[in-house]
Structure 1
Amino acid sequence: MRPLFRTLTAVLAAGLLAGVAMPGVQAADAGPPGRGSVPQRTIDWKPCPDDATADCGTLRLPVDRARPSGETFDLAVARRKAADPARRIGVLLVNPGGPGASGVDFALDDAPTHFGADIRDRFDIVGFDPRGVGRSHPVKCSSELLARQPSVHPRNQREFERLATYNRLLREDCRRHTGPLFDHADTLSVVGDMDALRRALGEKRINYFGHSYGTLLGEQYAEQYGDRIRAMALTANMDHSLGAREFLVSSAAAAEDSFHQFVKWCDRSSSCALHGRDVTAVWDDLLTRADRGQIRDPRNPDQVLTADAIAFEAFLAFYGPRWNEVADRVASLDAQEPDERRRSQQPRQARASTAQGTEERTEANPFHAVFCQDWRIRARDYREYAELTRAELGAAPHMRGTPRVHAAVAGCVGWPDEVNNPQHRLRITEAPRILMLHSRHDPANHFSWALNVHRQTRGTTVLLPYRGAGHSVYNRSDCTRDAVDDYLTELTIPRAGSTCAPADPH
């Protein structure tokens, strides 16, 4: 549930790419909701402003597919044409995750090095920014209001109500700055946009590569438009059937498992900066000292680091996994002398100017507009919230829960109970065989999520486990990369029971 590479630090989606204009004549409006095909003009591709080797354009689509003649927005699209046109298979739509990552950026910046030559030769690689993200009418919110977020760890009913009140205020602020699209930023709406894009590209069937939250797009496209898929490869899979407790606990267990994988690596690797020490004890003591306000950031000595900040930084490094980076950072922080000056644990936050006549500053903030419309997870009061938190902490005592999902769930407190795209068991009836890859020790998306999705779709999906650690899977080894490439190009499915061996971490 995150972007693939450069957008790691935007896991909770503050400030992705806002409002960059894209060239191209807009295509005709998409047809009404449902499966009927509507004639559609193709996109008028033009060289991308920052990369003339790729094409960029926009596709005008309805905000609400139930009202095709109503408000519209422009979907930003980028394409790298197949390098070997004589062997071209078709289009490969890509989504790198998030929610909030830019598919346009992935197609322009990452695809040339991410995919092997055979994929680049034989597919038009097409990335799009999902509605509300990047260049596709981004969700925007007040910078000043975003800077006033209260703690996502309320200690009583009063603080819980303060969080709920803030979330309601922020939601209304984002709706005001974004317009009608805010209420239609859910994944199911994006799935409809994907099929409109397929029609605009002139393709009867598409190929799709989705990572992390991008797998939810793939899963739900397969539900709605399975007969319009030639091939679909999904890595680091989402399970959209989970309830609140299962979602939080499994996410926390994934983070804790990655911590233990890090400890095991450090115990056996002489290159670890903590080798020969009790790594778990060092870590726990470091977080305890951070709770007392005694740990400063050596890169910014005026900043006191919270335990949450330290755990979140390690969590992001587990995505790699970049275990040497975690060890070096922990060793550096642990070496500090106790600091008794007890400054505030929270860094000072700049307040936006309120002087008369100044324009209100906004920034892109799509995460909760998507997440809270995809997941019916609403703690009703502090008692319910505290029970969920205790279960989360019980599953991850060393990582202090799940740094990513806790904040995601906290951001939905106070939102309306109704959601556009509530959880459900996956039901795919018409799609071809879909290839799923998943790391056995994924820090973010628990391996059980892939198993659950595979069980729900056993006649359609093929699961290839990668037995190592990390969040990204495709380029983990020759085994993982060849499995995806052979499948996408030749529709070759791995043998039942196949797995990929772990590669050496960094």
Structure 2
Amino acid sequence: MRRALVLVLLAVLGVSGCTAVVPGTAEPGKIEVKGPKGPVPAGLEAFYGQALVWRDCKALGRSAAAKASFGRRGTECAMVEVPLDYAEPGARAISLGVLRVRASGEHGRIGSLVINPGGPGQSGMVAAAMLSSRLSDSPLRQSFDLVGFDPRGVGISEPRITCLTSAEQEAVRQVDASTVELREAQAADFAGKCAERTGTRELANIGTRDVARDMDVLRSALGDDQLTYLGYSYGTRLGTAYAEAFPRNVRAMVLDGAVDPEASLVDGVVLQYKAFDAALDRYLDWCTDQCAVSTRDDLKQLVDDLRQDPVDVGGRRVLPEDVITAIVAALYSEDAWPVLESALDALSAGDATEVMGLSDTYQGRGQDGEYDGASTALTAIRCVDDPPVRDRARLAPVVDQVKGTFLAYAQPPLPSLDACAFWPVPNTSTPHKPNTPGLVTPVVISTTGDPATPYQAGVQLAEDLGGVLVSFQGNQHTAYLQGDPCVDQVGDDYLIQAKVPTTWLTC
């Protein structure tokens, strides 16, 4: 807590706009004290009123994507302190990475737009940097500082989630786990290593419940009385959790690619299997007259061939699961369909290089063979967020419901327990209908052909939050700020002018 107390002293003294040397570096940074703003929970004054020291981001990048995006012009970074455990705020503080790109307009700055790109496990810092370069001189960039943060356990933020080494992750991928016993042994080993290498107290406090509270600390430290938020995919779950915890602290909230807050994890898996299957049908329809691999039978033949004789790529075996991963990765957007076509056609000719490349990218494996930790963070956070399934009997109906889908053919689902069944700490959230008295009307965007967060989940979230639903007709995961003029106009008008659509609409 010592560092947090230093921040309080800076706030009391009214230090602002000064230059200081950032601890652990020789680099000067600009100190800003803009908090506390808005309601401050008792015992958290030190965190809500802390100073932020902004400096160049380049040295903070760990992954290839982070290193590339953190060097973009106009980015600046800081570390914000939050309690590891909000039940004991004075016991231990952890640091979260924050990236900001200042509003480009000379006049009319509204405040900060805090962004979460999803996952869980994806870096908000990388997302904010990349989004700022895409938006250029858009009205949104002129009106808001774009702010992304790495949630606890993600990217450069603490606590560092460590479960398997990159070599251990690679070894797991190279095993065709075709029995319940083998899969459960892998799951139990993963959970055990997470507990040993990360720590149970750390694992107990990395869930969405705690990240939502971190967002309110960040809001205050940034100097905003209320939060303006843009959440994609899992970011809609995080936004919903924030809206429940701090409904009156929200200025505006866009939730795109919704996670249904009332759906169980098991229900969500079934819906995703079916949604990806429908997306695969749309891809194959597109492929009919131009692809060498253009039917389900063609795909099944590729899978059967790999089962009997895995293809070698650089000394690594390409298994049916890699084909599934490649297909899933490419079905997130129509723009990736030509990439998938090329990869599958090459595989049919005996070259699995492109398929393995897609699979590696989706699983966070860099060209150096190191994994970026995003998939590990996803599992760890999910295991804290959702009630575990420890009864195999509950999984049997799931296996029955997904039969007939291509994903189930290529990687037959087994009634095996996952890592969460062996998780060493209890879950901190459960599926439920959110209670958000006093919340402003949020805008929920749902895409009709979204394979990852099926359309109906957006309908449910809009109803639960009393929001306005924008239905986008397309085949992709999420839609706002991705080039559709109708969706972008609705989102911009809402975030900038607080202009709420009068009715649900379709773009």
Q: Could you state the TM-score of these two structures normalised by the residue count of structure 2?
A: 0.78
Provide the C-alpha distance between the structure 2 equivalents of 1:51 and 1:466, rounded to a whole number of angstroms: 31
Q: Does residue 292 in structure 1 map to residue 308 in structure 2?
A: yes
- After superposition, give the CA deviation of every residue in 1:193-230 in whole Å (9 maximum; x if it has no partner): 00011111121112111111111111111111111111
Instruction: Kindly state the Cα deviation for residue 97 of structure 1 after the two structures are TM-superposed.
Output: 1.0
3-state secondary structure, aligned to 1:94? strand
Q: Which residue of 2 aligns with 1:375?
A: 386
Q: Which residue of 1 aligns with 2:254?
A: 233
Q: Which one of the candidate residues 161, 180, 183 is aligned to 1:139?
A: 161
Equivalence map 1:266-277=2 (5 Å): 266-267=287-288, 270=289, 272-274=290-292
2:321–2:410: 8 Å Cα contact kept in structure 1? no
Instruction: Kindly provide the amino acid, as one letter, of the partner of residue 421 in structure 2.
Output: V
- After superposition, give the CA deviation of every residue in 1:298-324 in whole Å (9 maximum; x if it has no partner): xx2644422221111011011122212
Provide the C-alpha distance between the structure 1 equivalents of 2:437 and 2:497, rounded to a whole number of angstroms: 22
Q: Which one of the candidate residues 312, 319, 338 is aligned to 1:324?
A: 338
2:112–2:146: 8 Å Cα contact kept in structure 1? yes
Q: Does residue 472 in structure 1 map to residue 478 in structure 2?
A: yes
3-state secondary structure, aligned to 2:408? coil
- After superposition, give the CA deviation of every residue in 1:82-121 in whole Å (9 maximum; x if it has no partner): 1114111111001111111111122223322147610110
Equivalence map 1:385-396=2 (5 Å): 385-392=395-402, 394=403
Provide the C-alpha distance between the structure 2 equivalents of 1:422 and 1:263, rounded to a whole number of angstroms: 37
- After superposition, give the CA deviation of every residue in 1:214-267 in whole Å (9 maximum; x if it has no partner): 111111111111111111111111113212431111011111111011112223
2:31–2:51: 8 Å Cα contact kept in structure 1? no
Q: Does residue 46 in structure 1 map to residue 66 in structure 2?
A: no
| Identical residues among aligned pairs (%) | 23
**How many residues in Structure 1 have an aligned counterpart in Structure 2?**
443
3-state secondary structure, aligned to 1:197? helix
Provide the C-alpha distance between the structure 1 equivalents of 2:382 and 2:32, rounded to a whole number of angstroms: 28
Distance 1:172 1:59, change over 3 A: same
Q: Which residue of 2 aligns with 1:13?
A: none
Equivalence map 1:60-459=2 (5 Å): 60-114=81-135, 117-137=138-158, 138-143=160-165, 145-149=168-172, 155-156=179-180, 158-159=181-182, 161-176=184-199, 180-267=201-288, 270=289, 272-274=290-292, 279-294=295-310, 296=311, 300=313, 302-321=315-334, 322-336=336-350, 364=373, 365-381=376-392, 383-392=393-402, 394=403, 397-400=405-408, 410-416=418-424, 418-457=426-465
Q: Which residue of 1 aligns with 2:8?
A: none
Provide the C-alpha distance between the structure 1 equivalents of 2:266 and 2:474, rounded to a whole number of angstroms: 26
Q: Which residue of 1 aligns with 2:11?
A: none
1:236–1:445: 8 Å Cα contact kept in structure 2? yes
2:244–2:436: 8 Å Cα contact kept in structure 1? yes
Instruction: Kindly provide the amino acid, as one letter, of the partner of residue 398 in structure 2.
Output: L
- After superposition, give the CA deviation of every residue in 1:260-299 in whole Å (9 maximum; x if it has no partner): 11112223xx5x324xx752221122222222225x26xx
Provide the C-alpha distance between the structure 2 equivalents of 1:438 and 1:115, rounded to a whole number of angstroms: 25
Instruction: Kindly provide the amino acid, as one letter, of the partner of residue 93 in structure 1.
Output: V
* Gaps in structure 2 of 5+ consecutive residues: 1-23, 59-70, 352-359, 361-369
Provide the C-alpha distance between the structure 2 equivalents of 1:409 and 1:45, rounded to a whole number of angstroms: 45
3-state secondary structure, aligned to 1:468? coil
RMSD over aligned Cα atoms: 3.5
Out of 129-138 and 34-43, give the one that drifted further: 34-43
Q: Which has the higher helix share?
A: 2
3-state secondary structure, aligned to 1:391? helix
* Gaps in structure 1 of 5+ consecutive residues: 1-19, 338-346, 348-360, 501-506
3-state secondary structure, aligned to 2:286? helix
3-state secondary structure, aligned to 2:474? strand
Q: Higher relative contact order by CA 8 Å / sep ≥ 6: 1 or 2?
A: 1
